Amino acid sequence: MCTAGLMTAARPSRGTRLVLVCLAAMLAAASAGAQDWPDRPVSVAHGHVTVGGDVTVTVGSGDSGYFNFTDYERSTLRLVRFDAVTTLRANGHVSGVIELRAEGDSAAGNWSADAYAAYLRVQPWTGRNFEVQAGRIPTAFGGFSRRPYGNDNLLIGYPLGYQYLTSLRPDAVPGTADDLVAMRARGWLAYYPVGEQYWTHGVPPMSIFQYDTGVLAKAGIPAARGELSVSVTAGTLSNPGVGDHNGAPQVAARFAAKPVPGMLLGVSVASGAFVAREVRDVLPEDAARQQYRQRAVGADAEISHGYWLVRTELLSSVWRLPALEAPLITEPLRATAWLTEGRYKLAPGLYVAARYDRLLFSDIQSSHGVTTWDADLWRAEAGAGYSLRRNVMLKGSYQYNRRDGGRVKAASLAAAQVLLWF
């Protein structure tokens, strides 16, 4: 579990500085290789090394309700990101992929840098769509998670299911249902009495801001015009990362098909141990023997034609937590995220887009009666994008958030973004 929420150092760590230096070197090399600011991936060493990049600068409203925060200190409406993806190709069968990413908040700073992805890729057969990836990899789950870069996102905000911080933490759990309900709408900064004894942010149903560690196999299925991906990773959808925190792997799978041109259909499943080892170590013996898993299913669809693009996605996640003291948490905790988004191109380089997004939580019985275990919310966001050049885009968006609980129940927020990619 990342504890960066309250523990971010004023000076970047040695690791952060190292990644920042590497990132700067890669972007400089890419720029020099292209003899100009590149507008397509830069390939050197006879195609053995290819570098692509993505720079995003976002300025936006202050979000006192923490609707758009990815941790305690960073909002997607103020996100500044430098991202470089490098592929190192040894031959037609073996290659490596490294993605270095530095992120900060345009208002608050809080810079961090990380090797977001770093894996070995093996394609045993030339001409067959089959590959194995091992290392820090994207999990085989979800539709929006396949579009992680700024120019893939029609708007500026991220879907709730991939970004909104629920009150759940893998490194600390509530002792009672009352403990859990007390943290409703407090996912940006939550505390529970069992496990790690500090305040930090909760986790989203699926995090798009970290990759997991493990192995992924992907195979094309021509008869179904589709592709099947299966991954085994150390973390969970909510809490991916480096290293094993929970003592059991997560298995995830996704099948995506294009039955006809212009249509993409996907289904995903995942199951993995959610509660961290440090919590299990302090649980009573009976409770410590059980598995507390996160299970999720997802479905997504995309249809496009002419100047229209429409997507919809459903993500349902269930977490099971220890039942320790009355009032007990006996039922699995469910969160269901649903979004629909669309884009229409008005003119060459100019589009408008909108997204409607809901995140609903299941009921729980506490001393105060029956309530949802976290506060339901919805978001509507609309905006426009204008491409100055093919790879330089300006975006603006406005969003309205409404939440059934918390100190701030509604927020109208605006943001603007400059995006460059190559």
Return the residue of 27, 74, 77, 89 that touches another protein, per CB under 8 A: 89
Among 56, 58, 76, 87, binds another protein (CB under 8 A): 87
Give the list of residues 6+ apart from residue 68 with CB closer than 8 angstroms, or none: 75, 76, 77, 157, 158, 163, 399, 413
Residue 364 contacts residue 370 (beta carbons within 8 Å): yes
CB of 25 vs another protein, minimal distance in Å: 16
Contact between 47 and another protein by CB under 8 A: the answer reads yes
Q: For the chain, what is the largest distance between any 2 Cα atoms, rounded to a whole number of angstroms?
A: 67
Decide: is 46 part of the binding site for another protein (CB under 8 A).
yes
The amino acid at residue 209 is F
Q: Is residue 31 close enough to count as binding another protein by CB under 8 A?
A: no
- Alpha-carbon torsion, ordered 322, 328, 331, 337, to 10 deg: -80
Amino acid at 44: V
The verdict on 307 binding another protein (CB under 8 A) reads: yes
128 binds another protein (CB under 8 A): no
Concatenating the DSSP letter of every residue in 227-247 gives: EEEEEEESS-SSS--SS-SSS
| Nearest-approach distance from CB 100 to another protein, in angstroms | 11
Of the candidate residues 5, 60, 65, 148, the single one contacting another protein (CB under 8 A): 148
Q: Check if the beta carbon of residue 373 is closer than 8 Å to that of residue 361.
A: yes
DSSP letter (8 states) at residue 138: -
261 touches another protein by CB under 8 A: yes
Nearer of residues 127 and 369 to another protein, judged by Cβ? 127
What are 95's strand-pairing partners?
Answer: 89, 121
The window from 55-63, 92-100, 310-318, 375-383 that contacts another protein (CB under 8 A) reads: 92-100
Minimum CB distance to another protein smaller for 50 or for 163: 50
342 binds another protein (CB under 8 A): no
Binding of another protein at residue 11 (CB under 8 A)? no
155 or 173: CB nearest another protein? 155
Indicate which single residue of 63, 99, 105, 114 sits in contact with another protein (rule: CB under 8 A).
Answer: 99
Residue 347 touching another protein (CB under 8 A): yes
Q: Which of 5, 52, 104, 204 binds another protein (CB under 8 A)?
A: 52
- Closest CA relative to residue 400, chosen from 377, 417, 376: 377
Stretch that binds another protein, among 89-97, 156-164, 238-246, 408-416 (CB under 8 A): 89-97
- From 157-165, 274-282, 371-379, 388-396, give the range in contact with another protein by CB under 8 A: 388-396
- From CA 279, how far away is CA 239, in angstroms rounded? 15
Q: Quickly list DSSP for 366-405.
A: ETTEEEESS--EEEEEEEEEEEEETTEEEEEEEEEEEESS
Q: From the list 17, 40, 128, 368, which residue makes contact with another protein (rule: CB under 8 A)?
A: 40
Chosen residue from 8, 50, 112, 213 binding another protein by CB under 8 A:
50
Tell me the β-bridge partners of 75: 69
Residue type at position 101? R
- Judged by CB under 8 A, does residue 253 bind another protein? no
Across the strands, what pairs with 80?
57, 104
Q: Cα–Cα distance between 214 and 134 in angstroms, integer? A: 6
Count of residues near another protein by CB under 8 A: 47
> Does 393 sit near another protein (CB under 8 A)?
no
With contact defined as beta carbons under 8 Å apart, do 298 and 267 qualify?
yes
Phi, psi angles (nearest 5°) of residue 143: -95, -50
Residues that bind another protein (CB under 8 A): 36, 40-41, 43, 46-47, 50-52, 85-87, 89, 95, 97, 99, 116-117, 119, 121, 123, 137-138, 145-149, 211, 258, 261-262, 304-307, 309, 345, 347-349, 387-390, 421-422
